[in-house]
Amino acid sequence: MKQDTLITHSGRTSPYFAQSVNPPVYRCSTVTFPSMAAMAEAQADHLNAFYYGRIGTPTTHAFEEAVAAVEGGERCIAVPSGLAAIAGTLSALLKSGDHVLVSDSVYGPTRTFCQDVLAKNGVQVDYFHPLLAENIEVLFKPNTKVVFCETPGSLTFEMQDIPAIAKVAHAKGAIVVADCTWASPIFYRPFEMGVDVSVLAATKYIVGHSDAMLGTITTSEELYPVIKSSVVKFGYSVGSEEAYLGLRGLRSIVPRMKQHQESALKVARWLQTRDEVARVLHPGLPEDPGHELFKRDFLGSSGLFGVILEPYPEEALIPMIDGLKLFSLGFSWGGYESLITYTTPGIVRNTVLWNADGPTLRLHIGLEDPDDLIADLEAGFERLNAFGG
């Protein structure tokens, strides 16, 4: 079946749903069993069964089934946030004495987890330059167990050659984990790129409405019990309400992604024409250094990109941003609404420094009319230029 059909039909056949189109929200801690034998049977299969609310409910199972189908993986594990997907996967696959290679352009809290939890517990963490591709080979050690990628990288939007990295990693016996949140499963097919475990902040485009926290870990049948049992040991638990919102969001993700893509490209191209802008960081644009990889590996782009401004003083951004009417200031992204943030990608690099003379902004283009968004930004640039004058 094609992806659109899977998105519409996956996760709808559970006998628990009594023919309703959408799954009921199972509010459940205790599950009761009709007999000792039935209880023992559920316990033996507790990573899959409806056994205890913390481990999963028919609602969370439906969400997992749909995400696994849509991503093209075999099994999915729902977790309470995108960060829990990253932390849960890395904790399951690494132990003291192991070595992990992490992209230097990775999402900030991923880096914090690696430093403050993994490294503290005896895992060796090294960062690789996101543009290394097959040259990553020189960084492998005999104890390298995992390579953690994120493409394009948070804040800088640098593209990674994941097929090349995966080829090296697999030859060395390492597992490739990738944070594929930016493009969503609609525009990036991680398992066709050699990824072994795909982690998503479902909070972003899957939920799609900025109203729930949710993460997913999608992987093979083989790695499923390794990661799921670890997640269960930590007590990560997804509420059925959140899983319901994730599944509901997923049903409309295709038209939303197409609109985010089209509107973001329109705003990005307009920004490229502006004197205030030094560079637009968007791999979907032909001028972007990552565009060749983007064309090869991606089916489309999302609503999130960066902008490096000409060297304006930081204070000049205050009237520009505070006065915006349609862009809200806020973290996260992937909802229906437009957002803007001031970012500092340069301060957290371990490999080659990221240099930009001017301030960097990150924009999430929502589902508003892009012409209205452009007018809002244009008025913002007038305030930027008027600053101090």
| φ and ψ of 105, to 5 deg | -100, 20
Identify which of 162, 197, 247, 179 has the alpha carbon closest to the alpha carbon of residue 76.
197
**CA-CA distances (angstroms) from residue 271 to 135, 259, 323?**
34, 18, 18
* CB of 110 vs ligand PLP, minimal distance in Å: 7
Angle of helix 82-93 relative to helix 224-234, nearest 10 degrees, comes to 110
Write down the catalytic residue from 98, 104, 161, 179.
179
Please state, in angstroms and rounded to a whole number, the distance separating the CA atoms of residues 217 and 200.
7
Scan residues 236-295 and list those touching ligand PLP (CB under 6 A): none
Q: Which of 201, 223, 245, 247 binds ligand PLP (CB under 6 A)?
A: 201
Active site residue 107: yes
Instruction: Please say which residue, 89 or 181, places its beta carbon nearer to ligand PLP.
Output: 181
| Residue 248 falls in the annotated catalytic set | no
Structure tokens at 330: 């806020």
Considering only residues 142 to 171 of the shown chain, the ones binding ligand PLP according to CB under 6 A are: 150, 154
CB of 80 to ligand PLP, least distance (A): 8
Residue 360, CB-side half-sphere exposure with 13 Å CA sphere? 20
Tell me how far apart the alpha carbons of residues 102 and 127 are, in angstroms, rounded to a whole number.
5
- Of positions 58, 82, 130, 359, contacts ligand PLP by CB under 6 A: 82
Please report how close the Cβ of residue 15 comes to ligand PLP at its closest, in angstroms: 31
Of the candidate residues 26, 50, 51, 107, the single one contacting ligand PLP (CB under 6 A): 107
Q: Could you tell me the maximum CA-CA distance found in the chain, to the nearest angstrom? A: 80
116, with CB counted inside 10 A (0-12, 13-18, 19+), is exposed
Q: How far apart are CA 376 and CA 46, in angstroms?
A: 52
Q: Which of 27, 54, 233, 325 is catalytic?
A: 54
Q: CA-CA distance, 208 to 202, in Å (whole number)?
A: 8
- Rule CB under 6 A: say whether 78 interacts with ligand PLP: no
> Residue 180 Cβ, how far from ligand PLP at the closest point, in Å?
9
CB-neighbour burial class of residue 318 (10 A; exposed 0-12, middle 13-18, buried 19+): middle
- Judge contact between 208 and 198, C-beta under 8 A: no
CB contact at 8 A, 23 and 244: yes
Q: How far is the CB of 202 from ligand PLP (least distance, A)?
A: 7
Question: Is residue 183 near ligand PLP by the rule CB under 6 A?
Answer: no
Number of residues assigned to the chain: 389
To the query of whether residue 179 is one of the catalytic residues in this protein, the response is yes
Contact 72, 191 (CB under 8 A): yes
Among 10, 181, 198, 360, binds ligand PLP (CB under 6 A): 181
Report in angstroms how near the CB of residue 90 gets to ligand PLP at its nearest. 12
Q: Which of residues 324-363 bind ligand PLP (CB under 6 A)?
A: 332
215 binds ligand PLP (CB under 6 A): yes
Identify whether 54 is a catalytic site residue: yes
Nearer to ligand PLP, 72 or 330 (CB): 330
How many residues bind to ligand PLP according to rule CB under 6 A? 14
Out of 159, 165, 175, 213, the residue judged to bind ligand PLP by CB under 6 A? 213
Catalogue the active-site residues.
54, 107, 179, 204
> Which positions lie near ligand PLP, rule CB under 6 A?
81-83, 107, 150, 154, 179, 181, 201, 203-204, 213, 215, 332
